Amino acid sequence: MTDSPVVCFLVINRMPVLPALAIQSVLKNSDAMICIGYTDIDDLADLPTDDRISLIQLDRESIASEVVSTHYADFEKNTFYQIVQLKWNLLEKCLNSFSGRTIIYNDIDVIWMKDATIPVTQSFEKDSKVHILIQDYTSNPAKPELCMGFVGIRNSQESLKIINLCKNEHKRLLMSNPKVGDDNVISVIYSTSNSKESFQLLPQSTFPVGNMINNFRPFSIFPGLSAFKPYIFHANFVIGIQRKIVLTYLALKLISPDWYRVSLISKIIIYKHTFPRWLKYNILGLK
């Protein structure tokens, strides 16, 4: 336990279902420690409690104070791109606070289906040059696109250098474009810096993003062929908390139905958010 990786979450603003599900999925599927970064203690009210969970309070003065509100912000809003700057602050603090441990950053819409610490630890043990393991959603190899939803980070000076570089680059880019996100920043750093050999891209087959969900349909196009069971599922590629909840619900049903056997209260909460959306899409034919 003392050397187990630390999985860190950024929980900012009140949002239903997803933070609790994501944290619970890590507790259920691994022995990892968990660190939650926050700015307002009230935002943690509905989250699981466990001896493996620690908290780090982040300085809201490090970003514009008006963007830290009590409401969820998605990436249609400029405030979202200000908020995600806090990821770099959280990662710096975790790397400095948990000396020697592997750090895994996990977005609150990333659900673990099995122990994701295993491939991260094995990768770092196998190749000492690798310091960053990161989700990849590249479609055109000439334009790498990386995703900060799930990132394994070796606790090293090289990792600290990369995170600090991202932090400063994010601030610089936001001055000219208010919709530069953390994914944009890490993709630029990967493509243009001298640190490219420090990165290893995680396979999309086992660390999928949201638009890969059709790979996990129960009925295969060709009998006997099916996708690998992923370590995680990231409910991105959809806008809005309600759609993220629906996508997460579908992923749990398709990929890990046993995991979905949650308490009655949890099911009521999930159905409250998913059924109206399901009705709208499937019965009424609306978008």
Please report, in tens digits, the pLDDT of each residue of the chain (287 residues total): 457 899 999 998 878 889 999 999 999 999 999 999 999 999 999 899 999 999 999 987 666 544 444 444 444 456 778 888 999 999 999 999 998 899 999 999 999 999 999 999 999 999 999 999 999 999 999 999 999 999 999 999 999 999 999 999 999 999 999 889 999 999 999 999 888 999 999 999 999 999 999 999 888 888 888 889 999 999 999 988 888 988 998 899 888 877 656 554 455 555 555 556 555 555 545 44
Residue 189 lies in a domain: yes
Say what the pLDDT of residue 71 is: 46
Say what the pLDDT of residue 66 is: 42
Q: How many domains does the chain have?
A: 1
- Phi/psi of residue 135, nearest 5 degrees: -60, 145
Residue 248 lies in a domain: no
Residue 138 lies in a domain: yes
CB distance 85 to 171 below 8 Å = yes
Q: Provide the whole-model pTM.
A: 0.86
Residue 236 lies in a domain: no
- Phi/psi of residue 161, nearest 5 degrees: -65, -45
What CATH number corresponds to the domain at position 194? Answer: 3.90.550.10
Residue 256 lies in a domain: no
Say what the pLDDT of residue 273 is: 55
Q: With 0-12 CB in 10 A as exposed, 13-18 as middle and 19+ as buried, what is 16?
A: middle
Say what the pLDDT of residue 13 is: 81
Pairing of strands 53-57, 103-106: unpaired
Residue 146 lies in a domain: yes
Say what the pLDDT of residue 278 is: 53
Q: Round to whole Å and give the CA distance between 287 and 285.
A: 7
Residue 244 lies in a domain: no
Say what the pLDDT of residue 221 is: 84
Domain ranges, residue 30: 6-210
Coil/strand/helix, residue 200: strand
Say what the pLDDT of residue 29 is: 95
Residue 91 lies in a domain: yes
